[in-house]
Structures are given as C-alpha cells and as structure tokens.
Amino acid sequence: MGHQCVECVAEGNRNVRQPRTALGARAAGPATPVVTYTLIGICALVYLAELSSVRVVWDYMMVGQGIGRTGQVIGVAEGEWYRLVTSMFLHQRPGGGSFSITHILFNMWALWAIGPALEQVLGRWRFLALYLLSGLGGSVLLYLQAPTEGAVGASGAIFGLFAAYFVIGRRLGGQVGPIVFLLVINLVITFAVPGISWQGHVGGLVTGGVLAAAYAYAPARARQAVHIAAPVAVLVVLAVLVAVKTAELSSSGVLL
C-alpha cells in the first residue's frame, strides 16, 4: 500500500484552489452558522440581564442626549459612544412598550430564519460586518434625526439583513418575492404603530443595502479589496456623521 506523510499532503493542498461561493466566501458546505447562533445567544443573555435589572436598559440603550435615571445628562453626545452599539443587543422588557417580549422574539426569529443563508454565502466576517454596521447605521440615523429619543433593539441590524437578502438574491437570480413581502409588512408596521423607532429601521435598511451591493457587485478581480474597503468606508462615514452631530449638540447645549 502507498503512504503519504501528513506534511506532504498539507504541502500539496496549499496549491489546491479552495472552492468559493459566488460572493467569494469559502464554500464549506452546510457549515454551522456560528455567527448567527452567537448573536442570538448574546441577545438572549443580555435580555436575561435586562430582566434582572432595568438599569441595564438605562445604562446601555441608544440615546443621543437625554436625562438619566438619577437626573444626570447621558448619551452619545456626552461621550457614551458605546450606546450606538450596545443598544442593538437590548430589547423591550415585559411591560416596557407595545411589543414587550415579542420584540426580542420576532427579531431573533428573523435572525434565525435568514441569518444562516447570508452567513453561508458571505462568510462569517462579511456577515458579521453587515450585521453590526446595519445596527450601527440605525443608531446613527436616530442620533442625527432625533437625538433626545431613546431606543433599543436589533431591528436596525435585522432590516439590514432584509436589504442584503434582497440585494444578494437579485444578484444571484434567486426568488426575492417573500423577502419583499416581509419587508413591506415590517415597513408598514414601522410607520403605523406608535413608539417604533423608524430611524433605526430605515438606517439599518439603507446601510445594509449599500454594504450588500458592494459585496454582491464587486468585480471578481478586485473582490477581496472591495469587500475589505466597503465596510471600512461605511464605518468611517458613520463615524464622521456621529462626530459632526456631537459637535453640533455640544455647541448648542440642547439639554444644558
């Protein structure tokens, strides 16, 4: 019988072209959607923390500039920039609004339903960047348009996934009718039901759509460069918008 040493096989495999998805991610077959499940797990753990103490919501929800529990001025404009990110892992507590526990249940169902497919075609890092930047885009639009309003939820990130599913589905020639229907229904609810942050939803939708377009339509010869540059560019634009708004609020002293 023939025999090949492990080192020889490894060396030979270096020259073997690894299979890729249509968007450049490594095609690993039906791999476990690690990022999707991790995000769901984080949101679930944070929700348990919220149930144990309402202070979690006050300390980490999205607000540009507002009055905290003890009367102090809080918000992104006061240096608490982390609220732009932490808010996307928070959800309404029971009795905290129109949707209560259904808020987290719907968002996690949506993430579970469409996250694995996007994660497989994009790869883990592209998918994670899409999710986080979409959520950040929603927070930034709220900061720009209504800085004194508070908000929590992964909805901005979820709307970004909706947009990406549509854009990538169109690019790959898939059926996009169901996602269009789901998106339209959610947009109607967004603007029809009081107490919903439309800024978070629309900001996430636009950010996710822009980033997904860069992922989907990057020319093959420059795909890797575009896939790195696009999320970096989106992050820079969002950071600049936050800096400009912070300077505006600081100079005007809205609540002071």
Q: 223: Cβ–Cβ under 8 A, 6 or more apart, which residues?
A: 23, 24
| Residues with a known catalytic role | 155, 201
